[in-house]
Chains A and B, each alone.
Chain A
Amino acid sequence: MTTPATPTSRAAALEFRGVTKRYGSGEESTGAVNDLSFTVPAGTICVLVGPSGCGKTTSLKMVNRLIEPTGGQILLDGSDVMSEDVTALRRRIGYVIQQVGLFPHLTIGRNVAVVPALMGWTRERQQARTDELLSLVGLEPGRYRNRYPSQLSGGERQRVGVARALAADPPLMLMDEPFAAVDPIVRQRLQDEFLRLQRALAKTILFVTHDVDEAIKMGDLIAVMEEGGRLAQFGPPEEILAHPASDFVARFVGQDRGLKRLSLSTIADLRTEPLGRREGLPTFSPDTTLRDALSILLVADTRGGVALDEAGQPRGLVTVDAIASALADDRPRRAARA
């Protein structure tokens, strides 16, 4: 999507202002996060990505004050998180972690309703909210409400983790490698479902991953971090892929960053050429990514393929050259997410 989802009253802007964290003191103190500054507009997903140990988790946990910064400020809708009551602050920030951390002794229903219960909602309101959220994350409330976490698959648990974080309708969500513990197929489905959810919810989300592909797929904005907790580059995915700010970023996003950029655009974005004979040519639906289209064209070894429109009618010819020139285009549109 080109334009960030419309911010709702339910989303908060997040700002890191010169945030620093050092563990230990004196000689042996090590910098985990170093002078980190960036702004996440309300309603957008910002992904923190970088190699292991570069300070992603530390940065995330400073937002809900599980870790206290050594210096700098973190502002939530303009006000310093350090100035707020820590319990109240945490209750209005959703928190999802890789290990999920569901309460094994509570049913799925009670797990989801944990924060509403802490906030003193009535039983009826908690129950209604639980059922609504379970449906939202694709778990039929009647089937799952009364089960215990041990009776769920890893992917189902992860969904419950997301539902639980959304329970009190927080304006900000912190997600630390939320989909890392499941296999690639489930991960992809969870990512897709989450993006679909986010289109409706338009939360502000700080999302941690060490996987560049996940960062590109999930992020409206990406903060690439490097060892020592420094910000290597901050910007939308297409900018980071097209113009890596340093050798480190270029290496980190990979040799195939060109292909990765292609996966951000779809056939619908592409200027097509007049269509001649179409017999024997592969066809592409509008939501096919340019990366997939290129792959298909190279394998099919034809002069091109047929781009279809929403109605399934031929729109024009897609060629390898046209796809290549889309890369030359400085900022391909991100239609994949529209």
Chain B
Amino acid sequence: MNGEPLVRWDWLWAHLGPIADRIGQHLYLTAIAVGVGFVISFALAAVSIRRRRLYPPVVVVATALYTIPSFALFAALVAITGLSILTAEIPLVLYTFILFVPNIVAGFDAVPWDVLDAADGMGFTAGQRWWRVELPLALPLVVASLRLATVSTIGLVTVSAILGDRFGGLGYYILDGYHRTFTTEILVGGLLSIGLAVLADLGFVLLQRVLTPWAAARAVSR
């Protein structure tokens, strides 16, 4: 490639500010998608737990959504929601369902029945039982699903760069570098995106430790 070095460090130093902004945008887009996806998924999981017959269809739909290529979904949504943030977020949110719902349901299913029987027998109200027993015991799988969805979404956010330079987070550099055949930009976008995913992953591992010290105690005693 006409004698260019693989990484143009001068470009990198000159663009530290914009790169930081892109990281911010990347995290912002990720946080909205994971947050909204989590709330909707939690509701879907709650309904599935209470009405078991609804669970299989919910999983089928969530899986079907996940099979739609992101590229196609972003493109198709432009026709409906234009080049708005909705177009960027809707696919990201839809893709989280299959990562959240089965894990949340499994988390609540994993609460031992004898513990619930004991809680009822000792006089927990329904609300107390949910907040003090069911939720804490479901937490390991709930946090695991947050970890999964966050890492996955951080990767997918890059694709939203096709909606223009107001979106995409670090994906902007990947797309721009591709158009200009500028390796430095592609590497910056790609590697930083991977770095964010790794950091998020570690963050959730730590959060898991803090929130469920008892699970660690069990692992040690085995």
- What residues of chain A have their CB less than 8 Å away from a CB belonging to chain B? 61, 64, 66, 86-91, 93, 95, 97, 99-106, 114-115, 118, 147-148, 150-151, 164, 174
Contacts and interface: CB of A to CB of B under 8 A. Distances in A.
Interface string B197-222: 00000000000000010100110010
A205 to B, nearest CB: 15
Contacts of B117: 66, 97, 99, 101
B128 interface: yes
Given A106-B214, A118-B128, 7 more contacts: A66-B117, A87-B123, A88-B123, A101-B114, A101-B118, A105-B137, A151-B218
Contact of A91 (B123, B136, B137): B123
**Secondary structure type dominating chain A contacts:** mixed
Contact of B214 (A66, A100, A104): A104
Contacts of B114: 97, 99-101
A86 B117 CA distance: 15
A66 B122 contact: no
A150 B123 contact: no
B121 A90 contact: yes
Interface string B111-140: 010111111111111001000010011000
Given A118-B123, A118-B124, A118-B128, A151 B133 contact: no
A85 to B, nearest CB: 10
A102 B115 CA distance: 6
Contacts of B214: 104-106, 148, 150
B112 A101 contact: yes
Given A101-B114, A103-B115, A105-B212, A66 B120 contact: yes
Interface string B60-104: 000000000000000000000000000000000000000000000
A97 B114 CA distance: 8
A93 B121 CA distance: 8
Contacts of B120: 66, 90
Nearest to B124: A118
Interface in B126-161: 128, 133, 136-137
Nearest to A107: B214
Given A101-B114, A105-B136, A150 B121 contact: no
Nearest to A91: B123
Contacts, number: 74
Given A105-B137, A150-B221, A66 B123 contact: no
B152 to A, nearest CB: 28
Residue of B112, B114, B214 ringed by the most chain A CB atoms within 10 A: B214
B143 to A, nearest CB: 13
Contacts of B128: 118
Contact of B218 (A87, A88, A95, A148): A148
B123 A115 contact: yes
B218 A90 contact: no
B115 A95 contact: no
> Which of A88, A147, A148 counts the most chain B CB atoms within 10 A?
A148
B118 A151 contact: no
Contact of A95 (B112, B122, B136, B137): B122
A121 to B, nearest CB: 14
Contact of B115 (A88, A89, A93, A101): A101
Nearest to A115: B122
Nearest to A152: B221
A107 to B, nearest CB: 8
Given A105-B214, A151-B221, A66 B124 contact: no
A87 B118 CA distance: 13
Contacts of A114: 122
A89 B221 CA distance: 37
Contacts of A90: 120-123
A331 to B, nearest CB: 37
A64 B218 CA distance: 32
A150 B112 CA distance: 13
A14 to B, nearest CB: 16
A84 B119 CA distance: 19
B207 to A, nearest CB: 15
Contact of B118 (A86, A91, A97, A148): A97
| 8 interchain residue pairs of minimum CB distance | A101-B118, A90-B123, A99-B114, A95-B121, A91-B123, A150-B218, A101-B114, A148-B217
Given A101-B115, A103-B133, A105-B136, A118 B122 contact: yes
B34 to A, nearest CB: 24
Contacts of B218: 104, 148, 150-151
Contacts of A91: 122-123
Nearest to B111: A104
A174 B121 CA distance: 10
A102 B120 CA distance: 12
Contacts of B112: 99, 101, 104
Nearest to A100: B114
Contacts of B136: 105
Nearest to A89: B123
B121 A87 contact: no
